[in-house]
């Protein structure tokens, strides 16, 4: 006789489920166990679907990622910049945010025109990346910008620069020329700062702060707050990264 044990332990917002089923050669017993297991899964799925279908915000136009800049990458980078600024103020840091950097590779889908649900933002940002703030001298930051130039652009905010022959040209941060001796504070994700996607130029830095905030959840919270105040998800192409002729 073949005996199998099935012990799913499932938890959702509706309650805790801890069910164990012994499944043997008895068809009646197996049917009962299967039915009970399916009922548990259905309860879990119902709660999850309800959460993922919650409205977060709306868009006036579809957004896709692209290079050297795009509506989608500009939106995420701008939201990160705002989240970083709010964090610095709330924690009374002696600096704000100078620029934000996010890799297009971390944006796994597009945003359609219309209603944007929690689930859609999970699809866009499926990874467990956390936000960090890095302080770097301008001379070291330039190496990060050169890497971005070699990739024909990434998602950025707070900066304007040209790209030509894999070089970052005419770099301006906050409207001012890049100062090689100034320490700039960049909000990004731990994946990139730790060398992910080949971005090793963050190694030379003056300081590092972990915000202990996931990018995805922060973006969702930011979008919800703006929507409740009457502002949907929006973006524009403003020439923050461009190709030099």
Q: What domains can you pick out in the chain, each with its CATH number? A: 4-52 (no CATH), 63-243 (3.90.780.10)
CA–CA gap between residue 66 and residue 63 (Å, rounded): 10
Q: Which band of pLDDT confidence, cut at 50, 70 and 90, is reported for residue 245?
A: confident
143-198 pLDDT, tens per residue? 999 999 999 999 999 999 999 999 999 999 999 999 999 999 999 999 999 999 88
Q: Which band of pLDDT confidence, cut at 50, 70 and 90, is reported for residue 108?
A: very high
| CA atoms within 13 A of residue 151's CA, in its CB half-sphere | 18
Residue indicated by tokens 């709010």: 86
Residue 195 has which token pair?
A: 């060398």
pTM: 0.81
CA–CA gap between residue 118 and residue 220 (Å, rounded): 7
Do 191 and 154 touch, CB atoms closer than 8 A?
Answer: no
Q: What pLDDT shows up at residue 33?
A: 58
Q: Which band of pLDDT confidence, cut at 50, 70 and 90, is reported for residue 26?
A: low
Q: Using the CB atoms, write b or e for 111-121: b if 16+ within 10 Å.
A: beeeebbbebb
């Amino acid at each position: 006789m073949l005996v199998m044990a099935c012990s799913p332990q499932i938890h959702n917002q509706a309650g805790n489920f801890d069910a164990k089923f012994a499944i043997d050669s008895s068809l009646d017993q197996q049917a009962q166990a299967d039915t009970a297991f399916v009922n548990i899964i259905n309860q879990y799925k119902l709660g999850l679907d309800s959460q993922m279908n919650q409205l977060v915000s709306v868009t006036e136009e579809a957004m896709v990622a692209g290079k050297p800049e795009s509506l989608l990458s500009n939106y995420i980078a701008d939201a990160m910049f705002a989240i970083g600024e709010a964090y610095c103020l709330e924690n009374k840091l002696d600096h704000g945010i100078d620029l934000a950097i996010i890799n297009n590779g971390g944006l796994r889908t597009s945003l359609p025109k219309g209603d944007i649900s929690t689930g859609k933002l999970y699809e866009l940002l499926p990874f467990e990346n956390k936000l960090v703030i890095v302080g770097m001298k301008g001379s070291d930051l330039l190496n990060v910008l050169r890497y971005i130039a070699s990739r024909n652009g990434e998602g950025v905010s707070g900066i304007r620069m040209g790209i030509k022959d894999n070089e970052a040209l005419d770099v301006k941060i906050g409207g001012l020329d890049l100062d090689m001796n100034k320490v700039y504070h960049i909000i990004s994700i731990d994946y990139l700062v730790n060398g992910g996607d080949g971005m090793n130029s963050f190694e030379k830095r003056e300081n590092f702060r972990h915000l202990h905030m996931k990018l995805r959840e922060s973006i969702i919270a930011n979008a919800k707050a703006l929507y409740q105040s009457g502002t949907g998800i929006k973006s524009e192409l403003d020439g923050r990264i461009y190709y030099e002729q």
